[in-house]
């Protein structure tokens, strides 16, 4: 016969969990409460299946899945205590001007995140949670921020952006209070939190040049990443992955590497930015901009479009200026391809292509006859 004392001892883990759950709820920490319920559902799946099933049903109809905008309106965006400036940039991404161009690897990772959110109920019933954290790696201008905006648009939730490099001075000296304000706010609503310039804070803790305050911030970040609620998505973006503390890498569930666009990627993007250009000219620009970031390419095309609009001239006229500016820096083989494509447009003679690219007319003639070029 089991005594009341023995029963209480057996139930003690459950009682402890219920007390902790009540504490989180009374503190108003909705996302932490949801995370704890999820852990309890997993914990008692075998020993107390009825309780686990009931908790799973609660998660499936969680009120935190209501409108993020309504919840957000109840909580003011955190501000720096000295300057009173907002620490976050808020954006509701209803649509994008055009569909982004990503590599197949990046596409797979981003679509995996979308599919997990769309199948969240199935994951919950399996005792799982969708991806909570992702690390975006790559040089400037390759689409890391755009990918975060695309996810926010597809998931129909706000994008909150924190530029860690821009607010670093306010963090130091406060033992990470501002950082905690931001993270607590982002956890309280259903959103994507983008930590831009992540390496500005999450540096290696064995770096002897960094002061203790910065090392404590890394510790704060590691704890928050571990406990990020599955209702939201934490994305960290860095241009300098080598600067990150090794412990940071292990915390992220998905690592997505963004590379500089190849020629096909560039051509696809150009079809959006310069819709009135003809095929051969688009191919010429794809050759010209190979190895450049999307941001760099878009900037030059936008400048050309503005100049064309102001002078009421065809865009092709101003694209020639871009070609003349960049062509001579290309490798010999690429310059030969570029000159050949320019002649194929039908708008440029071999002499004009030579003047723009520096490739000899004889080389262009041979290339068009599929003969090997000898004197670029």
CA–CA dist 201, 310 (Å, integer) = 44
CA 286 to the chain's CA centroid: 25
Cβ contacts of 308-317, under 8 Å, gap ≥ 24:
314/276, 315/274, 315/276, 315/277, 316/277, 316/281, 316/345, 316/347
pLDDT for 72: 47
Domain assignments of the chain as residue spans, ordered by start? 4-64, 70-257, 263-368
The pLDDT-based confidence of 70 (bands split at 50, 70, 90) is very low
What is the arithmetic mean of pLDDT over 53-67?
Answer: 63
- Judged by average pLDDT, the poorest of 11-25, 45-59, 72-86 is 72-86
Question: 135: closest CA among 183, 196, 90, 92?
Answer: 196
Q: What is the mean pLDDT of residues 2-30?
A: 72
DSSP label at residue 79: B
Residue 146: is its pLDDT beyond 90?
yes
The pLDDT of 234-262, averaged and rounded, is 90
- Tens-digit pLDDT profile for residues 115-124: 999 998 888 8
Tokens of 78: 């955190």
Residue 127: other Cβ atoms inside 10 A: 13
* The model's pTM: 0.71
What is the separation of C-alpha 191 from the centre of its chain, rounded to a whole number of angstroms?
13
Instruction: Please state, as a whole number, how many other Cβ atoms lie within 10 Å of the Cβ of residue 52.
Output: 18
Task: State whether CATH 3.20.20.70 applies to domain 70-257.
Answer: no
Residues 256, 132: Cα–Cα separation, whole Å: 14
Closest CA to 325 of 345, 344, 307: 307
Distance, CA of 169 to CA of 171 (rounded, Å): 5
Question: Cα(285)–Cα(267) distance, rounded to whole angstroms?
Answer: 8
The pLDDT of residue 155 is 94
Torsion of CA 219, 234, 249, 184, to 10 degrees: 10
H helix intervals, the chain = 4-26, 30-43, 49-60, 68-74, 104-118, 120-125, 144-155, 168-171, 177-187, 212-226, 246-251, 263-273, 279-288, 294-311, 315-326, 332-344, 350-357, 361-368
Judge whether 226 and 252 are in contact, CB under 8 Å: no
* pLDDT number for residue 175: 47
pLDDT value at 303 more than 50 = yes
The answer, yes or no, to whether residue 197 has pLDDT greater than 80, is: yes
Can you name the residues that pair with 86 across neighbouring β-strands? 79
């Amino acid at each position: 016969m089991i005594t009341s004392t023995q029963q209480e001892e057996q139930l003690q883990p459950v009682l402890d969990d219920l007390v902790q759950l009540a504490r989180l709820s009374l503190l108003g920490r909705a996302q932490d409460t949801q995370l704890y319920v999820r852990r309890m559902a997993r914990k008692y799946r075998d020993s107390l299946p009825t309780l686990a099933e009931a908790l799973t049903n609660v998660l499936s109809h969680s009120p935190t899945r209501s409108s993020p905008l309504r919840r957000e309106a109840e909580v003011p965006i955190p501000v720096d205590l000295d300057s009173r400036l907002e620490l976050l940039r808020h954006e509701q991404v209803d649509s994008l001007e055009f569909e982004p161009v990503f590599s197949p690897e990046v596409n797979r990772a981003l679509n995996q995140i979308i599919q997990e959110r769309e199948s969240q109920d199935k994951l919950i019933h399996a005792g799982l949670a969708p991806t909570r954290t992702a690390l975006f790696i790559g040089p400037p201008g390759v689409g890391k921020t755009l990918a975060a905006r695309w996810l926010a648009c597809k998931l129909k939730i706000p994008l909150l952006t924190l530029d860690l490099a821009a607010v670093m001075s306010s963090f130091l000296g406060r033992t990470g209070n501002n950082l905690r304000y931001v993270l607590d706010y982002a956890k309280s609503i259903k959103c994507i939190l983008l930590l831009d310039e992540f390496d500005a804070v999450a540096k290696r803790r064995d770096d002897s040049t960094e002061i203790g305050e910065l090392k404590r911030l890394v510790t704060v970040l590691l704890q928050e990443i571990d406990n990020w609620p599955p209702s939201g998505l934490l994305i960290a973006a860095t241009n300098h992955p080598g600067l990150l503390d090794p412990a940071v890498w292990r915390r992220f569930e998905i690592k997505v590497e963004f590379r500089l666009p190849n020629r096909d990627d560039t051509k696809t993007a150009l079809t959006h930015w310069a819709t009135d250009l003809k095929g051969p000219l688009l191919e010429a620009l794809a050759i010209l901009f190979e190895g450049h970031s999307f941001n760099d390419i878009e900037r030059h095309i936008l400048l050309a479009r503005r100049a064309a609009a102001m002078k009421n001239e065809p865009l092709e006229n101003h694209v020639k200026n871009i070609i003349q500016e960049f062509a001579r820096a290309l490798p010999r083989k690429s310059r030969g391809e570029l000159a050949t494509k320019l002649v194929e447009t039908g708008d440029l003679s071999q002499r004009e292509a030579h003047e723009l690219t520096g490739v000899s007319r004889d080389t262009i003639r041979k290339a068009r006859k599929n003969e090997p070029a000898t004197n670029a």
